[in-house]
Structure 1
């Protein structure tokens, strides 16, 4: 992959706009139609496409919480280890920001979500019925409306 192709790929990753990325990587190109056509062609390049896919995977992993992280956060909220910011009045119309403990409703919601994850709250349904027979394709001619 060339340096210009790498610049194109890095610019493309910012907003997935091939035309804009191509015009930055190749500043001599002024027409959007030329940039769009060449960007489309570049995006079929196997090495470039592999680089973009690799970078997207890295970005996804850095930005997305995994299941373990979510469970740890919910546990810390439930246990009251998290705080949140709120406004307080300082007098004479002034306000400030302070940290307070997470409220009981938020802690209860976190406990509920954790309970659902661990299947602690399951509805038990007991169905007892006799044999059910369904006959398909039989029709009583007497009940047929004409």
Structure 2
């Protein structure tokens, strides 16, 4: 089946529908009249070209949002190598001393600052463990693949007298 191009309004409707999930609202935002928006929205959703466009765009969005196996493995490797930094709050103490009326007065001031540090060793170890599991580096079971052909031994003698 040859698909025709969507009109500007139809594409706008489909794009707004993807954003909002509300067909009537999408129709109004796309420029259809408020009076007929619900009816137009229902019609548009049943049109093959528009529904295919919506389906394709939704699949695109889903594939961009969901990490694939390669992305996960690359992330775990970066964490294991401590190439990824994290931001942690750290309490910083500042001490000031000044002389007032011949006496030394010291004031302490504490503040919280956000500090960038490499990934924690515990995170790196967990990433290494997950990578090791993926590559079956430390399995307790041994997998043996063997092609075994059964051998039958005829141990029944030819006489029927038991012996």
TM class, shorter-length:
0.7 to 0.9
Match of residue 111 from structure 1:
128
After TM superposition, give the deviation of residue 37 of structure 1 in Å. Answer: 4.2
Which runs of no fewer than 5 residues in structure 1 stay unpaired?
Answer: 126-146
Match of residue 100 from structure 2:
none
In 2, the alpha carbon distance for the partners of 1:26 and 1:8 equals: 8
Task: Select the structure of larger CA radius of gyration.
Answer: 2
In 1, the alpha carbon distance for the partners of 2:118 and 2:76 equals: 14
Secondary structure class of the residue paired with 1:22? helix
Match of residue 69 from structure 1:
71
Match of residue 2 from structure 1:
7
- Aligned mate of 2:54, from 39, 52, 55: 52
- Aligned mate of 1:97, from 114, 119, 125: 114
Number of equivalences:
123
In 1, the alpha carbon distance for the partners of 2:32 and 2:63 equals: 32
Structure number with higher helix proportion? 1
Return structure 1 stretches of 4+ with deviation > 6 angstroms. Answer: none
Which runs of no fewer than 5 residues in structure 2 stay unpaired?
Answer: 1-5, 94-108, 143-163
Secondary structure class of the residue paired with 1:71? helix
Match of residue 86 from structure 2:
84
TM-score (norm 2): 0.66
Structure number with higher strand proportion? 2
